[in-house]
Amino acid sequence: MTDPADLVQEACGLLAQLVPRLRREAPVPDETAFAAPGMTARPAAAPLPGNPAAIYALTSIHATARQLEGVLKYAAGARRPGPLAARGGSDANTAGALAAITSLIGIADDDLYRLVISELEQRLDEARQFRAIDEAGQWRSVGGGSVCPFCRGSSLKALLDARRQPGRIQCFGHRESGAPCRATWPRLADIVPDLARAEEAG
């Protein structure tokens, strides 16, 4: 059986990976507003660069990581200094808060555990709604030297999204012609017969 704490660790690990990706898509600071004389400032009417969904998801992860760390520390008996006083707003501090959640989850009772895991899952859902993350981040490379029977490349990836065909395998390699391979299988095991056929064909 999976240890409930492992699920929290997995969720925190995924969120920690998503933060830098969301950061890249969130609006860049408007440095031109403080441009030196002679430099061109961004026109006031120009829309903010970046992606509102990324901003929202990122802000939520920052807030939730600190809140949950605080609740868990409180449950563990630490009354002060509070986590909000201890951690600034940087991405590194959010990563630290997520790591602290992982290490503290063992002290949570059932109610607190459910609160923590449901909050983490909601943040993951928000990040998934950001399309670039959905497309780029839900695939994990299939290790172990698995080779695509069609293009002979080792670019097989497994879909992680539990809501859409989890475990589906897709090839992200290219055929000899240079065209994307895009071979897919419902399960890793389904590749095996194709591999056998490819070996027979030499």
Residue 16 interacts with Zn ion (CB under 5 A): yes or no: no
Residue 139 interacts with Zn ion (CB under 5 A): yes or no: no
Q: Which residues contact 132 (CB under 8 A, 6 or more apart)?
A: 21, 25, 51, 54
Span near Zn ion by CB under 5 A; candidates 26-34, 46-54, 117-125, 181-189? 181-189
Residue 83 interacts with Zn ion (CB under 5 A): yes or no: no
Tokens 């408007």 belong to which residue?
Answer: 30
Please state the closest distance from residue 133 (CB atom) to Zn ion, in A.
24
Element at 139 (helix H, strand E): strand 139-141
Please state the closest distance from residue 153 (CB atom) to Zn ion, in A.
5
Residue 169 interacts with Zn ion (CB under 5 A): yes or no: no
Q: Which is nearer to Zn ion, 24 or 182 (CB)?
A: 182
8 A C-beta contact, residue 146 and residue 153: no
Please state the closest distance from residue 146 (CB atom) to Zn ion, in A.
11
Span near Zn ion by CB under 5 A; candidates 55-63, 127-135, 142-150, 190-198? 142-150
Residue 11 interacts with Zn ion (CB under 5 A): yes or no: no
Q: Return the C-alpha torsion angle 126, 131, 137, 140, nearest 10.
A: 110
DSSP of 69-84: HHHHHHHTT--SS-HH
Q: Return the C-alpha torsion angle 174, 178, 183, 188, nearest 10.
A: -10
Residue 181 interacts with Zn ion (CB under 5 A): yes or no: yes
Q: For Zn ion, what does the binding mask look like between residues 91 and 130, x meaning CB under 5 A?
A: ----------------------------------------
Amino acid identity for residue 54 in this structure: A
* Interface with Zn ion (CB under 5 A), residue from 128, 171, 185, 191: 171
Peptide bond into 81 cis (omega under 30): yes
DSSP 130: S
The neighbouring-strand residues paired with 157 are: 141, 170
**Distance of alpha carbon 165 from its chain centroid, rounded?**
18
Span near Zn ion by CB under 5 A; candidates 24-32, 67-75, 106-114, 163-171? 163-171
Q: Which is nearer to Zn ion, 56 or 150 (CB)?
A: 150
* Interface with Zn ion (CB under 5 A), residue from 151, 158, 169, 191: 151
User: Which stretches of the chain bind Zn ion, using CB under 5 A?
Assistant: 148, 150-151, 171, 173, 181, 183
